[in-house]
Structure 1
Amino acid sequence: MDLPVMPPLRPMLAKSVKGVPAADSVEGGLSYEPKWDGFRCIVFHDGDEVQLASRSTKELTRYFPEIVEAIEAEAPERCVLDGEIFIATDGRLEFDTLSQRIHPAASRVAMLSVETPASFVAFDLLALGDESLMNEPFAVRRARLEEALGSAADPIHVTRTTTDAAEAHEWFGIFEGAGLDGVVAKALARPYAPNGRTMLKIKHSRTADVVVAGYRLHKTSTAERPLLGSLLLGLYADDGQLQHVGVAASFTETRRAELIDELEPLIVDTSEHPWGKWQDADAQAGSRLPGGQSRWSGTKDLSFVTLAPTRVAEVGYEHMEGSRFRHTAQFKRWRPDREPASCTYGQLEEVAKYDLGQILT
């Protein structure tokens, strides 16, 4: 492989802001586009060679043979693209399904590439032929991208953009229904900045009252100075079962020590806990119970301290992925005024569905 932009390359990143910024808030103006919820991917294509690289520069090529094949067929013979790999089911992004593709067995990957094929959406062009576009302003890179992939067909797409802040605000409200998680704003006049947080991202922010049903120790915890790592959170389903929905973390070291003492009176025997059978494989298959091993955790210790599900906390979250929080929740405050039984899925905002196909059109 011999391209004007070569791996390893860390993609340009974004910093969070509140609200869609005005188009004229940055010199040269802003371009807005949907924020895709998949695997960030830099595509390096040189003739019959294709390399897919993750945000951290790790190889993704072997996990997505259908994307490699599509790039060879639909993309320019020599190019470097920045974009996102995603999987859609019934007109909505499915991150859990996408995650299943990171599997050590080639046979499993091959089967899933047929059963749940992935797609690639491009949002930047970093090189074309013998020309590097890294120092060109985004307005130029975007125009060249549209030209380079103008005839590309599914599963290769070019993301939608607008320079109208009002339209971007509308997208922010409706595209979540298709599984997207916000809007990204890019300065039209700026060059590509590898690993630099020069883009702006606007993501959804919500709160929920949850039951705190356990905790894990921090990786630096010791017998002499135990430190809490994360709180295990639950919500009651319609059948009355307490479902594990995620964790809250990001406490200061002082607060981690305080929480150990604060939660000690709530510790109960595992046999008395609704998630007490977390080591049982059948129970893991039937419920969202914490503690089980997976391809993500490997041999990592996921054991946790069981707490009586009597304390309620308010947490901040961005959006749901199925029945759980998509990302780590942010602890806000204790809610002694709330009863655990009131912490149900019914309190969560229902997002109106939106067909992903309308976004890709």
Structure 2
Amino acid sequence: MDLPVMPPLKPMLAKSIKGVPAADSVEGGLSFEPKWDGFRCVVFRDGDEVVLGSRSTKDLARYFPDLVAALLRELPERIVLDGEIVLAVDGRLEFDVLSQRIHPAASRVDMLAETTPASFVAFDLLALGDESFIDRPFAMRRAGLERALSNATAPVHLTRTTTDAAVATEWFGIFEGAGLDGVVAKALAKPYAPNGRTMLKIKHARTADVVVAGFRLHKTSTEERPLLGSMLLGLFNDEGVLQHVGVAASFTEARRADLFDQLDAMRIPLAEHPWGAWQQAEAHESDRLPGGQSRWTGTKDLSFTTIAPTLVAEVGYEHMEGTRFRHTAQFKRWRDDREPSSCTYEQLEEVASYDLAAVLE
């Protein structure tokens, strides 16, 4: 492979802000685009060679043979693109299904590539032919990207953009129904900045009251100074069963020590806890319980300390992935005025569905 921009390359990143900014809030103006919920990927193609560089620069090509074939068919001979690998089920992005591709068995990957094929959404041009576009402003990179992908067809897509903040605000409200994450803003006059947080991202922010049902120790915890690492959170489903929905984990060291003392005093035996079946492999077939290994955790110790499920906390979250929080939740405050039984899925905002095909038009 011999391209003007070579792997490994860490993609340009974004910093979070609240609310869609005015298009003229930065010199040269802003361009807005949907924020896709998938695997960030820098595509390098040189003839028959394709590298799918992840955010951490690992090559994802072995997990997406279907996408490699599509990129060879749809892209120019020599090109470097920044974009997102996504996977849709019934007209909605499904990150959990996408994550199943990260599997050590080639036969499993091949089967998934056939039954649940992935797509690539391009949103930046880094090189074309013998020319590097990294130092060019986004306005020029976008124009070059549109020309380069003018004949591309599914599953290779060009993300839509707008310079109208009102349109971006509308996208922020409706595209979540198709599984998207929010909106991204890029300065039209700025060059590409590998590993630099020069983009802006606007994501959904919500709160929920949850049951704190267990905890894990922090990686720096010692016997002399035990520190809480994360709180395990639960919500009751329609059958009255407490489901594990995620964790809250961002605390100062002093707060970790205080929280450990508070929660450790509430220990109960595993056998008396609603999640006592987590050690039984068959329990994970019907419920997603804490303590189970996954393709992401490998052999990492995910055991936890069970506590009486009587504490209620208000947490912040962005959106759901199935029955769980998509990302780590943020602890807000204790809710002593709430009963644990009131912490159900019914309190969560129901996002109106939206057809992904309409986003990709």
1:11 maps to 2:11: yes
* Structure 1 position 342 matched with structure 2 position 342: yes
Asked if 1:153 is matched to 2:153, the reply is yes
CA distance in 2 between partners of 1:14 and 1:135 (Å): 18
Distance (Å, rounded) in 1 between the aligned partners of 2:222 and 2:146: 55
CA distance in 1, matches of 2:141, 2:110: 34
Q: Summarize the alignment of residues 66-81 of structure 1 with structure 2, pairs less than 5 Å apart.
A: 66-81=66-81
Q: TM-score, normalised by structure 2?
A: 0.99
| CA shift digits 1:38-70 (9 cap, x unpaired) | 000000000000000100101101000111111
CA-to-aligned-CA distance 1:148-190 (integer Å, 9 cap, x gap): 0011010000001000000000000000000001000000011
| Alignment match, 1:218 | 218
Q: Deviations over 1:312-353 (max 9, x none)?
A: 000000000010000000000000000000000000000000
Q: Which runs of 4+ in 1 moved over 2 A?
A: none
Aligned AA (1:106): A
Q: Give 1:233's aligned amino acid.
A: L
State the alpha-carbon separation in 2 of the partners of residues 117 and 29 from structure 1. 37
| Counterpart in the other structure of 1:264 | 264
Name the structure 2 match of 1:33. 33
Equivalent residue number for residue 51 of structure 2: 51
Q: Which runs of structure 2 are paired with 1:312-331 in the superposition (5 Å)?
A: 312-331=312-331
**Residue equivalent to 1:193:** 193
Partner Cα separation in structure 1 for residue 130 and residue 265 of structure 2: 66
Alignment of 1:99-114 (within 5 A): 99-114=99-114
Residue 115 (1) aligns with residue 122 (2): no
Match of 1:184 in 2: 184
- Structure 1 residue 145, shift from structure 2 partner: 0.4
Distance 2:264 2:220 in 1: 19
The residue number in structure 1 matching 2:333 is 333
Equivalents in 2 of 1:238, 1:265: separation in Å?
A: 30
Measure, in 1, the Cα distance between the counterparts of 2:289 and 2:111: 28
Equivalent in the alignment of 2:162: 162
Partner of 2:140: 140
Counterpart of 2:42, as a letter, is I
Matched residue count? 361
Local SS of the residue matching 1:42: strand
Secondary structure of the equivalent of 1:24?
coil
Question: What is the aligned-residue identity percentage?
Answer: 78
Give per-residue Cα distances to partners, 1:276-330, cap 9 Å, x unaligned: 1111011111112100112211111100000111000000000000100000000
Partner of 2:126 in structure 1? Answer: 126
2:224 equivalent to 1:238: no
Question: Does 256-265 or 131-140 show the bigger shift?
Answer: 256-265
Q: Runs of 5+ in structure 2 lacking a partner?
A: none
RMSD: 0.6
| 1:264 Cα deviation from its structure 2 partner | 2.4
Residue 24 of structure 1: how far off its partner (Å): 0.3
- The alpha carbon displacement at 1:265 in A equals 2.6
The alignment partner of 2:276 has SS state of: coil
The whole-number CA distance in structure 1 between the counterparts of 2:296 and 2:38 is 16
Distance 2:184 2:224 in 1: 46
CA distance in 1: counterparts of 2:89 and 2:201, whole angstroms? 25
Letter in structure 1 aligned against 2:58: K
Could you list the per-position Cα deviations for residues 5-24 of structure 1 after superposition, in whole angstroms to 9, with x for gaps in the alignment?
Answer: 00110000000011000000
